[in-house]
Amino acid sequence: MDLSIETKCMYGDREGLKGEPTGSISFPIYQTATYAHPEVGKSTGFDYSRLQNPTRQHLERVVASLENGIDALAFSSGMAAITALMEIFKPGDHLITDIDLYGGSIRLFDNINEKNGISFSHINCSKEDVESYIKPNTKAIYIETPTNPMMNVVDIEKMAEIAKAYKLLLIVDNTFLSPYFQNPLDFGADIVIHSGTKFLGGHNDTLAGFVITNSTEISDKMRFIIKTVGSGLSPFDSWLILRGIKTLAVRMEKSQENAIAIVDYLRNEPKVKNVYYPGIKDSPGYEISKRQSRGFGSMITFEVESPELARHILKYTKLIPFAESLGGVETLLTYPFTQTHADVPEEIRKANGITESVLRMSVGIEAKEDLVNDLKEAISSYKG
């Protein structure tokens, strides 16, 4: 029988604890670097933990199940996952990427991958004619949806149609919605990326990254790369992410409920100029979100009336920390201008609307009344 996503968070592909001889309900941490062989030519299936580890393998099976992929690979961070993925391309290749991406991704593309001979066209994939940027050496389209931090929604199915027509790969960073709310492979993507540090882990206590695919060829390439570059996730961190995923469903639902309440408040606050959230009915991406996602998530970006007010809010919220991350049980406020997107070229920041008055909010699972009141008090205390 087909399992619901809530149940998959607990058991993955129904393998559950099959093959774990003790019957431990919490999958064990196999804290070992190497494995003994019965004799020459025979193996337990594990040789060396850089190649594979039972705890990491179990996590990868769960994540592959959640994203409806045939394979998932767990890396030491989200950026380690993207860095390894870029090794499937070679000097002379060209990629089309959305202009509004996590700043770390842009930093990698512009400073490391371009140095190594890969070129990029950064465009607005939700508005511009993507096909007009395709070149003979174009190999992939790389998007986030919703985008970080401006919450633009990109039509995955449309991008997949373009990619397949030109024999390109479609890569989708699905961090903001998690597999609980969105499954890009179901809409034609070839590869899904996650910063597992965020919603999958859910507790701001470890780093992780994932590459998921439904292609045997890509899986084989990525297995060779992770073995070679050595950036696989450690056993203990794999266990932490497994533990986090068990509560993914309830966390995502509660965080979304809180986010909707905060959006309602912010849209009626005179000192807030703009609120960016895909669940706003008159937002440009609302209908696309309804079609390709099961929810709108808990990430909000909003613009206040001045940079001074933005910095005041960051200083004077009493409950909500000013911190650079997202997806945990704690609500966090981030300042993209100096944090997540500080290394993005100024012209791109301006084009995307990332000003000194913009704040990004990752909404957690606290009481929504407390979160709204904390924002209210911080904003009302500003006398500028």
Angle CA(226)–CA(209)–CA(330) in degrees, nearest 5?
Answer: 165
pLDDT of residue 27: 92
Residue 244, amino acid: G
Under 8 Å CB-to-CB from 77, ≥6 apart: which residues? 195, 197, 207, 208, 209
| DSSP state string for 226-260 | HHHH--BPPHHHHHHHHHHHTTHHHHHHHHHHHHH
Nearest to 58 by CA among 6, 7, 20: 20
pLDDT of residue 24: 87
Q: Are 72 and 64 in contact (CB under 8 A)?
A: yes
Average pLDDT over residues 100-126: 96
- The residues annotated with a catalytic role in the active site are 50, 102, 173, 198
Q: Which residue has the higher pLDDT, 240 or 348?
A: 240
Retrieve residue 69's tokens.
């992929």
pLDDT higher than 60, residue 300:
yes
Instruction: List, for residues 191-235, the tens digit of each pLDDT value.
Output: 999 999 999 999 999 999 999 999 999 999 999 999 999 999 999
pLDDT of residue 17: 57
CATH no. for 248-380: 3.90.1150.10
Task: Give the DSSP H or E segment for 303.
Answer: strand 299-304
pLDDT of residue 25: 87
pLDDT higher than 80, residue 62:
yes
pLDDT of residue 343: 81
| DSSP state string for 98-165 | ESS--HHHHHHIIIIITTTT-EEEEE-TTTS-GGGG--TTEEEEEEESS-TTT-----HHHHHHHHHH
Instruction: Read off the DSSP letter of residue 68.
Output: T
Instruction: List, for residues 333-345, the tens digit of each pLDDT value.
Output: 999 998 888 888 8
Band of pLDDT at residue 15, cut at 50, 70 and 90 = low
Instruction: Read off the DSSP letter of residue 300.
Output: E
pLDDT of residue 21: 80
What is the value of pTM for the model shown?
0.96
Average pLDDT over residues 238-258: 98
Domain boundaries, the chain: 248-380
* 263 bridge partner residues: none
Band of pLDDT at residue 320, cut at 50, 70 and 90 = very high
pLDDT of residue 18: 66
How confident is the prediction for the chain on average, in pLDDT?
A: 95
Average pLDDT over residues 229-242: 98
Kindly state the percentage of the chain with pLDDT values over 70. 98
